[in-house]
Amino acid sequence: MISGGGTGGHIYPAIAIANAWKERFPGSEFLFVGAEGKMEMQKVPEAGYPITGLKVAGLQRSLSLSNLSFPFKLMSSLSKAKSLVKSFQPDVAIGVGGYASGPVLFAAQNAGIPTLLQEQNSYAGLTNKLLSKRAKKICVAYPGMGQFFPSERIIYTGNPVRKDIMELEGKRELAIAHFGLDSNKLTLLVLGGSLGARTINRAVLAEMKAFEAAGYQLLWQCGKFYFLEMSKSVLESGLKHVHVREFIKEMDLAYAVADVVVSRAGALSVSELSLVGKPVIFIPSPNVAEDHQTKNAVAYVSQHAAVLLKDAEAIGNLKNAVDDIVNDDARAEELATNIKKLAKPDAAKAIVDTIATLIS
């Protein structure tokens, strides 16, 4: 049983774990548990796995009427999670973070089922910190996580990513054709996450004419909340080399064609970009718990493996940051080389190894 979600940063590692387990133990049965109305309810079935949803939702940090329903949703989710655990009878329950993982792993732990946590970020989430007290193993993506979890149960695995991202060789021409790009132009890949990143979109919007005038082409995932606005602006601008997408499903092709990447610093993005080995500019979101995206980015910047551009400084400075990399071949090479040194390509295998020991 695998539980969690809410964002791609939780969902895709969960799917990668399931895929790696299925490859080794093809006769296994899976049940994913997510939060109703969240993106896992679409993405997990698309990956070929069954999923059921809980009514659970987060507690808002600001005063909100939605907080009044929180206790009722939590009790309902705990009750349903208990029933799911009892009916599915999993050999192991895995939590990847997100609202649904709390009730499910709590129910599994109460039923005496071994549980494993997968923490993607350099700063642990509250749910995982609470669940870690009874979890058998905690797989982490960064060293030094003993400040959050019992050290004797931590396994430093890295974050699992989709297998196709590790196989980029020979895909550039395919990507050029797929996205309708110009093979003679330098490609800037801009990623703001599946929902979109307001600041990154505004920064690109402010300088997209300058990017095109300088000879760049943009492959821009703006997110579903911003797609209509951004695509309209590009159309009205008359620019020919700014390719805006709501969501890029073929991330292996996007990474293969990229010369420089601009991205938020969510755990999944950081892990994928480590494997890709391209120069990266991280613009961390300041609107996340404990500012964990900045902590993720700083861990890489300290190793000269990425560039950090603060969210508050991105608009008006993005093109300069890109130019600084493009116009300095030695720096571009240093960034690409150093970020690849931080990659953990066998993360999914290591997590599967750990799960297998729990079951046996």
Beta bridge partners of 217: 187
Does the annotation flag 287 for ligand binding?
no
d(C-alpha 69, C-alpha 56), whole Å: 10
Average pLDDT by stretches of 10, the chain with 360 residues? 89 94 97 94 96 77 53 83 98 93 97 97 88 97 93 96 90 98 98 86 97 98 94 96 95 97 93 96 90 91 97 98 98 98 95 96
**Residues 220-223: contacts with CB under 8 Å, at least 24 apart:** 220/190, 220/244, 220/245, 221/190, 221/191, 221/192, 221/245, 221/246, 221/247, 221/248, 221/254, 222/190, 222/192, 222/196, 222/246, 223/192, 223/193, 223/194, 223/195, 223/196, 223/197, 223/247
- My answer on whether 47 and 102 are in the same domain is yes
CA distance readout (Å), 296 to 52, 118, 167, 292, 332: 31, 16, 24, 6, 20
Does the annotation flag 61 for ligand binding?
no
- My answer on whether 176 and 110 are in the same domain is no
Does the annotation flag 162 for ligand binding?
yes
Does the annotation flag 193 for ligand binding?
no
pTM comes to 0.85
- What are the backbone angles phi and psi of residue 265, rounded to the nearest 5°? -115, 40
- My answer on whether 200 and 119 are in the same domain is no
CATH of residue 335: 3.40.50.2000
Does the annotation flag 121 for ligand binding?
yes
- My answer on whether 168 and 145 are in the same domain is no
Tally of domains within the chain: 2
- My answer on whether 143 and 225 are in the same domain is no
Q: What is the pLDDT of residue 62?
A: 52
d(C-alpha 191, C-alpha 293), whole Å: 14
Does the annotation flag 46 for ligand binding?
no
- My answer on whether 17 and 99 are in the same domain is yes
Does the annotation flag 269 for ligand binding?
yes
Q: What is the pLDDT of residue 66?
A: 53
Say if residues 244 and 224 touch (Cβ distance below 8 Å): no
Q: What is the pLDDT of residue 143?
A: 86
Q: What is the pLDDT of residue 289?
A: 74
- My answer on whether 257 and 336 are in the same domain is yes
Q: What is the pLDDT of residue 189?
A: 98
- My answer on whether 17 and 140 are in the same domain is yes
Q: What is the pLDDT of residue 70?
A: 58
Say if residues 115 and 94 touch (Cβ distance below 8 Å): yes
Q: What is the pLDDT of residue 71?
A: 66
- My answer on whether 143 and 183 are in the same domain is no
Amino acid at position 112, single letter: G
How many helices (H) and strands (E) the chain has is answered by 15, 13
Residue 349 domain boundaries: 2-159+345-359
- My answer on whether 180 and 126 are in the same domain is no
The residue among 14, 55, 263 whose CA lies nearest residue 161 is 14
- My answer on whether 191 and 320 are in the same domain is yes
Does the annotation flag 357 for ligand binding?
no
- My answer on whether 134 and 113 are in the same domain is yes
Look up residue 21 and give its two tokens.
Answer: 């387990």
